Amino acid sequence: MATIESILEYRSFQHASLVTGYEKLSNEVNGIMVMEAPDIELWGRKGLLILSSYYALQDLSDREIDLFFGLAKKIGIAGFVIKIDRLISNIPPKIVSYCQLYQIPLIEIDKRTSYGQILTEISNKIINRDAYILQSYYDTHKKFLQLMMQQPGIPVILEVLQDTIDKPITLLEKVKNKIITTNEALVTYKVIKKQPLPFKKEMNFSYNKYTVEYAQYSPHKSYTQFVISIPNLGYEEYELIIHEMEESIDDIDFMIIENAIAAIQIELLKDEAIRQNNRIRLNEMASDLLHGRLNSEEAVMETILQLQLNPELNYRVILFAFEPKKENISQRLMNRFTDAIIYHARPVFPDCTSVTRKQKVFLIVPAENLSLDKTKEITNRLLKRILEKDVYRVFDLYISISDYFKLQDLPKGYQQAFDTQKILQLMGKRNQIVTYQEMGIYQLFVETDNLHSLKRFVPEVIWQLQEENPELLDTLSIFLNVNQSFSEAAQKLSIHPKTVRYRVDRLRDVYQINLNNSEEVLQYSIGIRLLKLLPQRKNQTLY
């Protein structure tokens, strides 16, 4: 990779001197051209070294020169080379000042140096470098492709990467805090500074540059790490860490790293596929147990043993049901959220078994030595941990907990958790946890055998509104939920408060609903809530 510092060593620059830009000697040079006109925004590009005799700049005003060098800085021009010849005997002070202001390297050459020498030498170096990079890419890609065919495992890939770029390597799985490294002495460190690495053409992933202090190295001496997040299909969050140590990483190293990441992704994909197959098999077995689909005691016992559950213990069912807060949430994100719930549950309920269904996760949790209150407390910590990540806050969670049962009676626990969900969602208790015990009288309401008997608790006018004017029923429901506040109801309904008032007047005048009578208001509130648990009058299907 050519830089301002390296080209100053070229033969064609033997009579050159650096005027400004000592702090930017590392600027990469990937091209060179002679400037004919100052319209740099049309032809300038990052990494370009510009040759000039000052002819193109001589008629510009101070403001125009300021604008020119400001654009050069913004574009990422590597530097300027100005020739002292017939036109000027010294570089004008204002040019030097603007190069200093914008920290752009400025090189002076005398008349003994021809443009042709500079153009030829730099162009040849760049062409040769590009050819070398292309060959290196081919060799590196071939090397890692052959490695992937051998299915080596991640530790071997890290060792090959270390040997190739001569840098220690660490792979960190952030969720489990699992570490695979080629140098144990570099596992413990303190991060001093983080900053994103500017994008380069060799990069297909996002890189961050960390300044760190290693616990086992000299105190207060800082080192550099390059940290790359590796996308994968599972819930895990992987970061590849390149410990730069003494030698800097160059563009060839970046290409090698990119190929290594591809090999790591293949291994992660393979592991995820194996886990997914096992998960599907165990999920179906647990689902059969949970839903009571096993036809004999022998089948139940065999399933219990295969799921590694203890037939002597009591178990509870914890149901996580979630729904997106907005449309167009990808299925992949919903799958990752499901995986995250299961993953975060395992440390706090180490012996649990999970069952997944569309936007639902059932946990079968041992109840021995774990009271209902303690179970709820642990589940609440689990809920907070899940929602710590901003990406998962696009979901509303509803969590219900059953009483405890023997595994043979686990379908009763499933029904309790499922029934509790009805009340949870009916009451709009988002991101809350409710146990079956806490439902009180609602336990009677949600039992399937008692649903038809609940019709007598729903005032006739509520049935009438549901059939004749669902919009007014929705208005009544929200109006009661906000303690008869016109402004709050209008906000929730996205209408004007006067429209709410008009609808409430219709409820009073057309349907004779008296909202000043507290007993009637209580009946309407209960009736509207129970309505969602009852079969519709016309089609007799459950809500």
Q: pLDDT tens, 368-387?
A: 889 999 999 999 999 999 88
Residues near 87 by Cβ (< 8 Å), separated by ≥ 6?
Answer: 53, 54, 55, 58
Q: Which range (147-156, 204-213, 309-318, 453-462) has the least confidence?
A: 453-462
Judge contact between 94 and 122, C-beta under 8 A.
no
- pLDDT of amino acid 541: 33
Residues near 18 by Cβ (< 8 Å), separated by ≥ 6?
Answer: 4, 8, 25, 105, 106, 107
- pLDDT of amino acid 441: 66
Residue type (1 letter), 51: L
Q: What CATH number corresponds to the domain at position 435?
A: 3.30.70.270
Q: Are 90 and 178 found together in one domain?
A: no
Mean pLDDT score across all residues of the chain: 88
Q: Are 312 and 442 found together in one domain?
A: yes
Q: How far apart are CA 419 and CA 179, in angstroms?
A: 43
Residues near 457 by Cβ (< 8 Å), separated by ≥ 6?
Answer: 526, 527, 530
267-292 b/e (C-beta count within 10 Å ≥ 16 → b): bbeebbeeeeeeeeebbebbebbbee
Q: What CATH number corresponds to the domain at position 488?
A: 1.10.10.2840
Tell me the residue ranges of DSSP E strands in 24-64: 31-34, 48-52
Q: What CATH number corresponds to the domain at position 197?
A: 3.30.450.40
Q: Are 264 and 325 found together in one domain?
A: no
Residues near 240 by Cβ (< 8 Å), separated by ≥ 6?
Answer: 169, 170, 171, 227, 228, 230, 257, 260, 261, 264
In a domain, 116, yes or no: yes
Q: How far apart are CA 167 and CA 184, in angstroms?
A: 13
Q: Which range (1-5, 197-201, 271-275, 536-540) has the least confidence?
A: 536-540
Q: How confident is the model at residue 319 (pLDDT cuts 50, 70, 90)?
A: very high
In a domain, 459, yes or no: yes
Q: What CATH number corresponds to the domain at position 73?
A: 3.40.1390.20
Q: Which range (191-200, 382-391, 423-432) has the least confidence?
A: 423-432
Q: Could you tell me the two tokens for 212?
A: 């760190």
Higher pLDDT, 379 or 133: 379
Q: Which of 429, 436, 362, 434 is nearest to 402 (CA)?
A: 436
**DSSP 8-state class, residue 536:** P
- pLDDT of amino acid 539: 40
Residue showing tokens 């961050």: 208
Map residue 112 onto helix, strand or coil.
coil
CA-based max dimension of the chain: 105
Q: Are 33 and 113 found together in one domain?
A: yes
- pLDDT of amino acid 445: 67
Q: How far apart are CA 417 and CA 318, in angstroms?
A: 7
In a domain, 388, yes or no: yes
Query: What pTM was computed for the model?
Result: 0.52
Q: Are 318 and 426 found together in one domain?
A: yes
Q: Could you tell me the two tokens for 425?
A: 């969602």
Q: Are 417 and 493 found together in one domain?
A: no
Which residues constitute the domain of residue 214? 151-270
Residue 216: half-sphere exposure toward Cβ, Cα within 13 Å: 6
Other CB atoms closer than 10 Å to residue 447's CB: what's the count? 14
Residue 98 pLDDT exceeds 50: yes
Q: What is the pLDDT of residues 215-247, one digit of tens each?
A: 888 777 899 999 999 987 666 789 999 998 877
Mean pLDDT of the region 517-535: 80
Q: Are 390 and 503 found together in one domain?
A: no
Q: How far apart are CA 99 and CA 18, in angstroms?
A: 12
Alpha carbon 474 to its chain centroid, in Å, reads 37
Q: Are 214 and 318 found together in one domain?
A: no
Judge contact between 306 and 289, C-beta under 8 A.
no
Q: Are 235 and 347 found together in one domain?
A: no
Q: Are 34 and 175 found together in one domain?
A: no
| Last residue within a domain, chosen from 446, 466, 493 | 446
In a domain, 536, yes or no: no
Q: What are phi and psi of 127, to 5 degrees?
A: -60, -45
Mean pLDDT of the region 354-360: 90
Count of domains observed in the chain: 4
Q: Are 155 and 118 found together in one domain?
A: no
- pLDDT of amino acid 449: 52
Are β-strands 360-366 and 353-357 bridged in parallel, bridged antiparallel, or unpaired? Answer: antiparallel
| Last residue within a domain, chosen from 218, 252, 270 | 270
Q: How confident is the model at residue 538 (pLDDT cuts 50, 70, 90)?
A: very low
Judge contact between 21 and 4, C-beta under 8 A.
yes
In a domain, 537, yes or no: no
For residue 342, give the H/E element and its range: helix 331-348
Higher pLDDT, 251 or 434: 434
Q: What percent of the chain has pLDDT over 90?
A: 54
Q: How far apart are CA 290 and CA 356, in angstroms?
A: 11
Q: Are 234 and 316 found together in one domain?
A: no
In a domain, 139, yes or no: no
Q: What is the pLDDT of residues 324-342, one digit of tens each?
A: 988 888 888 898 899 889 9
In a domain, 144, yes or no: no
Q: Which range (27-31, 179-183, 207-211, 268-272) has the least confidence?
A: 268-272
In a domain, 507, yes or no: yes
- pLDDT of amino acid 535: 56
Burial class (CB in 10 A: 0-12, 13-18, 19+), 192: exposed
